[in-house]
Amino acid sequence: MAPSAIALWIMLAWVHDEVATHSPILNITSAEPDSGKTTTLGVVSFLVPRAISSVDISRAALYRSIQRWQPSFVIDEFDDVLAAKADGDKAELRAVVNSGHTRNQGVLRCITDEHKPEMFSTFCPKAIGMIGRKMPATTLGRCIVIELCRRKKSEHIAKFKHEDDSELNNLRARLRRWSLDNAEALRGYAPKMPDSFENRRADNWHVQFAIADLAGEDWGDQARAAADKIEGNADSRTIGARLLADIKVLFDADPKAHCLHSATIVTGLAEDPEKPWAEFTRGKPLTQNRLAKLLGIYGITSQTVTPTGLKDAKGYYRSQFEDVWSRYLSDEPSSSFLS
């Protein structure tokens, strides 16, 4: 599944400027180092157009390179970039990767002595490598996440030398020829989306599905199967959406419950040690006050409620959640794991 998705993303990079309205980030990740991320990104960097694969790049060079070359960024060890909050150049690099998901997006910077503001486009193909998935949910939702695992000693591989050669050059030439021949057909093509692919998820896969469909045979079916497998393992929800989902589980556990006390909710949420609520703030469980603040974002406020057989206390009616559940939980991610 992952090789198909990577190949389709590389093909997207070749028609990106002519066809794409949205630019999904290819996120190569793994639970542990030595799992093939650098090798995968190395292969990608040799196959995408005008690749820039340097992490240590000055802010001036960064914007001028985008403006001059319209490159494809291939950035390894992006978790180090996310963690380097005091590093100005890496903060600029984060801004570029985090932005530019939609055509005509960019960043406004003053880079001359005259302090004249100048707009730099950040709409270009971007591939990153990192350990885990610890990144802002808004960025993760813009990613196609490919999760690698470390190979067993019994699994034999061919060593990639990270050197350009005639085979890679031939592949690039074929990709360029393909892009010239097919850009116009892709521009007007509207691929059919799987039922669960809406909004940003549909945006991320639009061009890849179009490429696969136009390739003929069963490539379209293979692309959708790969996407469904990959997206089934991706949880890009915000903490608020996760809270709404887990509160729904509490209500659904007792279909007759028309309301729940705040104390009942925070106790129920904290019972699962694998969820964030048991150690939500500095190792302590989610409090009723913090619960109220998180739900207030959605216009849900606590009221005096009386669950069956219990006394009056602050809490929430199920009816208060029905609307936000239908809006934000219509596409719940699967709990399966990528093999």
Q: What is the CA radius of gyration of the chain?
A: 23
**Rounded distance between C-alpha atoms, residue 179 and residue 15, angstroms:** 6
Tokens of 300: 């849900």
Tokens of 146: 């490919």
**Rounded distance between C-alpha atoms, residue 252 and residue 256, angstroms:** 9
Predicted TM-score (pTM) of the model is 0.73
Q: Is residue 72 within a helix (H) or strand (E), and if so which, with residue range? A: strand 72-75
- On whether both 135 and 266 belong to a single domain, the answer is no
pLDDT digits (tens, 9 = 90+) for 123-161: 999 999 999 888 877 788 899 999 998 888 888 888 888
Within 8 A by CB and 6+ apart from 48, the residues are 10, 13, 14, 72, 74, 125, 127
In the prediction, which pLDDT does 334 show?
Answer: 36
- On whether both 215 and 296 belong to a single domain, the answer is no
Q: In this structure, is residue 46 part of a structural domain?
A: yes
- Our CA angle for 12, 100, 88, nearest 5°, is 125
Q: Note down the domain range covering 49.
A: 2-153+165-232
Weakly modelled stretches of the chain, pLDDT under 70: 54-59, 85-86, 88, 233-237, 330-339
Cα 268 to the center of its chain, rounded Å: 29
Identify the residue whose tokens are 């802002």: 136
- On whether both 130 and 271 belong to a single domain, the answer is no
In the prediction, which pLDDT does 291 show?
Answer: 96
- On whether both 203 and 70 belong to a single domain, the answer is yes
| Under 8 Å between Cβ of 18 and 157 | no
Q: In this structure, is residue 339 part of a structural domain?
A: no
- Residue 37 has a CB neighbour count (10 Å cut-off) of 21
Tokens of 41: 């990104």
| CA within 13 Å, CB half, 217 | 4
- On whether both 199 and 114 belong to a single domain, the answer is yes
Cα 162 to the center of its chain, rounded Å: 27
In the prediction, which pLDDT does 339 show?
Answer: 29
Q: Is residue 331 within a helix (H) or strand (E), and if so which, with residue range? A: none
pLDDT digits (tens, 9 = 90+) for 34-71: 899 999 999 999 999 999 986 666 667 777 788 788 89
Q: Which of 176, 206, 232 is the last residue of a domain?
A: 232
- On whether both 31 and 49 belong to a single domain, the answer is yes
Q: Which of 188, 216, 232 is the last residue of a domain?
A: 232
Q: Which of 232, 264, 279 is the last residue of a domain?
A: 232
In the prediction, which pLDDT does 333 show?
Answer: 41
Q: In this structure, is residue 334 part of a structural domain?
A: no
Phi then psi for residue 206, to 5 deg, are -55, -55
Instruction: Domain count for the chain, please give it.
Output: 2
Q: In this structure, is residue 175 part of a structural domain?
A: yes
**Rounded distance between C-alpha atoms, residue 288 and residue 292, angstroms:** 6
| CA within 13 Å, CB half, 223 | 26
- Answer positive or negative: Cα dihedral of 230, 179, 185, 72: positive
Residue 253 identity (one-letter amino acid): A
Q: In this structure, is residue 159 part of a structural domain?
A: no
In the prediction, which pLDDT does 319 show?
Answer: 96
- On whether both 319 and 177 belong to a single domain, the answer is no
